[in-house]
Amino acid sequence: MANSAVLKSSIAKKVAMALSGLFLMLFLTQHFFINVTSLFSPDTFNSISHFMGNNPLVQFVIQPILIIGVVFHFIMGFVLDIKNRNARPKAYAKYNGAANASWASRNMIVSGSVILAFLGLHFYDFWVPEMIYKYVDVNPLDATRYFQELVHKFESPIRTALYCVSFLLLSLHLWHGFNSSFQSVGFNNKFSKAIHKFGYTFAIVVPFGFIIIALFHHFNH
Cα–Cα separations (whole angstroms), residue 98 to 101, 105, 107, 172, 215 = 5, 10, 11, 15, 33
pLDDT digits 0-9 by tens, 178-194: 777 777 666 667 777 88
Q: What is the pLDDT of residue 152?
A: 92
Question: Exposed (0-12), middle (13-18) or buried (19+): which is 133, by Cβ within 10 Å?
Answer: middle
CB 211 within 8 A of CB 157: no
Q: What is the pLDDT of residue 113?
A: 80
pLDDT digits 0-9 by tens, 105-162: 667 777 778 788 888 888 888 888 888 888 887 777 888 999 999 999 999 999 999 9
Give the contacts of 123 (CB within 8 A, at least 6 positions apart): none
Cα–Cα separations (whole angstroms), residue 39 to 28, 195, 201 = 17, 29, 21
Q: What is the pLDDT of residue 41?
A: 96
Please count the other Cβ atoms lying within 10 Å of the Cβ belonging to residue 23. Answer: 16
Q: State if pTM tops 0.85.
A: no
pLDDT category of residue 40 using cuts at 50, 70 and 90: very high
pLDDT digits 0-9 by tens, 163-183: 999 999 899 888 888 777 777
Q: Mean pLDDT of all residues in the chain?
A: 82
The per-residue DSSP string of 55-123 comes to -HHIIIIIHHHHHHHHHHHHHHHHHHHHHHHHHS-SS-S---GGGTS-HHHHTHHHHHHHHHHHHHHHI
